[in-house]
Amino acid sequence: MVKVDYEFRKKIMDAHIIDTLKYCYQCNRCTDVCPIATIAPNRYNPRSLILNSFLGLKSAIFENEDNFFIWGCTVCDTCDEVCPQKIELTEVFTVLKNMSIAEGKGPEYYTTQATAIYESGKAIPSQPAIERRREQMSLPQIEPPNVEEVQKILNQTKLNTIINK
Amino acid sequence: MAKAESEYKLFQGCTIGNRIPFIEVSSRKVFDKLGIKTSEGPFACCPDPVGFNAVDHTSWLAMAARNLTIAEQEGKDIVSLCNGCFQTLKAVNHELKHNEHEKEKINDILKTVKREFKGSISVKHFVEVLYDVGIDKIKEHVKNDFSGLKVACHTGCHYNRPSEIMQTDDPMKPKKLRELVAAVGATPVDYEEEMLCCGAGVGNAEEAPSMQVLANKFNSALDAGAEIFVVVCPACFQQMDTNQKKAGEQSNNEFKIPILYLTELFALAFGENPDDLGLKFHRSRLTSFLEKFGFK
Ligand code: SF4
Ligand code: SF4
């Protein structure tokens, strides 16, 4: 049986401050322009993601075995641009992705990158070889970020627990 | 609006700074030539609008806000060399300026490191900054004309979308990059998939669809007669420059397309030597393109 998850529904509505989600009339413009729905129509569909999110059908989204259903989005923001109802689809998708990560279901890339940012302040930490190359090309040294500050902030937002640090 | 004399905080981002710094070389040379002043800052990751935001939205807001406060302390606007950093910093700046509730929440977090987001500066993409210098002024510096060169312009997604916030250019028909490319004599071609994503984002989850999107993009530009791509984002640059073989295998093609950063095209036009720009670090060979235009 299809079950409405009210807690989930509230999260979606809360994130979507302008509350326009209910105006989606399933016109399919978002899916028509989506480059991923175009090449993988059976695996990714922004229109149905919006519908299921609005209806609170968490299981329809999260119990899909193929996590490409959520993570297929290449974040080109084209759907946001063409939606006649001005629904900010990618903001909703960010909520879904955050939930997927919290449940430990996201692609590895994402938590690996977040760990690098937590540990070094940068998604791509500096390396001696690149530092030498910078010097050879007469580029100034990159001022290192204050990692202690970064970690204080990210402990406060509980990122450390999300990525198990 | 920042004046030509004023100084920007340069935000090169993790990819350019710590992986492909040769892009920073051409950017700095072009800025110098055009009198655009910049200085460094102890910035952390922007952070990545595709990666980090998908992990935890609040952490993304707080980290971006922290970077913004660094520029605010000096009262200087930020110029970004990267679409991703640009989108993050500009979108978060906009969000916190317009949403009091969100601003309070983030400032509460920043309090632990004695910082406060004020919303007193602006964030710019380097394409906007070059465009604001003026096409005529840019033309004055051109020593090597690229007449006859057919270019596929690729602005990338986060340069101008979501347009309500970014306001950089027309969201689905951007013109600034085209005009800048034309300023050095080259001809931007019209191609069907000009607005198509490079496919880097989906590549974080799965490679095959990412390569398919890239191949579609390449084929469309080649069909229209393009000889090179000009890009303005390091993520697009890496996707296009390093994955030509894979995109070819995915689609039964063989791609050998030079990918240039806009600042590289400009630096060459302004008379810089390819060796000084680190062009040898490109994966997709530039030799025949450079020879055609008389560079050795
Ligand atoms: S384009 Fe907008 S209104 Fe149309 S289906 Fe997509 S989200 Fe709904
Ligand atoms: S942002 Fe995601 S869902 Fe929207 S069009 Fe692009 S790939 Fe499709």
Confirm whether B279 is domain-assigned.
Answer: yes
C-beta neighbour count of B176 within 10 angstroms: 22
Cα–Cα distance measured from residue A17 to residue B292, given in angstroms and rounded to the nearest whole number = 55
Q: Are B157 and A107 an interchain contact pair (Cβ–Cβ within 8 Å)?
A: no
Domains in chain A with CATH codes: 6-102 (1.10.1060.10), 121-162 (no CATH)
Q: Which amino acid, A130?
A: I
- In this structure, the answer to whether residues B37 and B141 fall within a common structural domain is no
Residues A66, A55: Cα–Cα separation, whole Å = 21
Q: What is the pLDDT of residue B5?
A: 54
- Residue B144 sits in the same domain as residue B122: no
Low-confidence ranges of chain B (pLDDT < 70): 1-5
Q: A31 CB less than 6 Å from ligand 2?
A: no
Owning domain of residue B221: 135-292
Domain with B49 in it: what CATH number? 1.20.1050.140
Atom of ligand 1 nearest to the CA of A50: 7
Could A152 and B112 be called an inter-chain contact, meaning their C-beta atoms sit closer than 8 Å? yes
Which A-chain residues 96-155 have CB contacts (< 8 A) with chain B?
Answer: 97-98, 101, 106-107, 109-111, 113-114, 117, 121-127, 130, 133-134, 137-140, 142-146, 149-150, 152-154
The total number of structural domains in chain B stands at 2
- Helix H or strand E segment including B125: strand B123-125
**8 Å CB contact of A117 and B43:** no
Q: Which atom of ligand 2 is nearest to the CA of A80?
A: 4
* Residue with CA closest to ligand 1 atom 4: A27
pLDDT band at A6 (very low <50, low <70, confident <90, very high): confident
Q: What pTM did the predictor assign?
A: 0.95
Instruction: Answer yes or no: is the C-beta of A79 below 6 A from any ligand 2 atom.
Output: yes
Ligand 2 touching residue A56 (CB < 6 A):
no
| Ligand number, closest to the Cα atom of A54 | 1
Considering the domain architecture, whether residues B145 and B262 belong to the same structural domain is answered as yes
Q: Is any ligand 2 atom within 6 A of the Cβ of residue A38?
A: no
Whether residues B145 and B121 fall in one domain: no
Interface A-B, measured as beta-carbon pairs within 8 A, has a size of 186
Residues B92 and B17 in one domain: yes
User: What is the per-residue pLDDT for B1?
Assistant: 46
Residue-wise pLDDT for A133-159, tens only, equals 999 999 999 999 999 999 999 999 999
Q: Backbone phi, then psi, for B228, in 5-degree steps? A: -140, 165
Q: What is the ipTM of this complex?
A: 0.95
A41 near B CB under 8 A: no
Q: How far is the CA of B253 from the centre of ligand 2 (A)?
A: 26
Domain end among B126, B151, B172: B126
Query: What pLDDT shows up at residue A1?
Result: 61
What DSSP string describes B242-296? H-HHHHHHHHT------EEEHHHHHHHHTT--GGGGTGGG-SS--HHHHHHTT--
User: Mind listing the pLDDT tens digit for each residue in A25-75?
Assistant: 999 999 999 999 999 999 999 999 999 988 888 888 888 889 999 999 999
**DSSP letters along B145-178, please?**
--TT-EEEEE--GGGT-SHHHH-SS-SSS--HHH
Among B77, B93, B126, residue at a domain's last position: B126
User: Which among A126, A156, A159 is the nearest to B18, CB-wise?
Assistant: A126
- Position B1 in a domain: no
Identify the residue whose C-alpha is closest to ligand 1 atom 3. Answer: A24
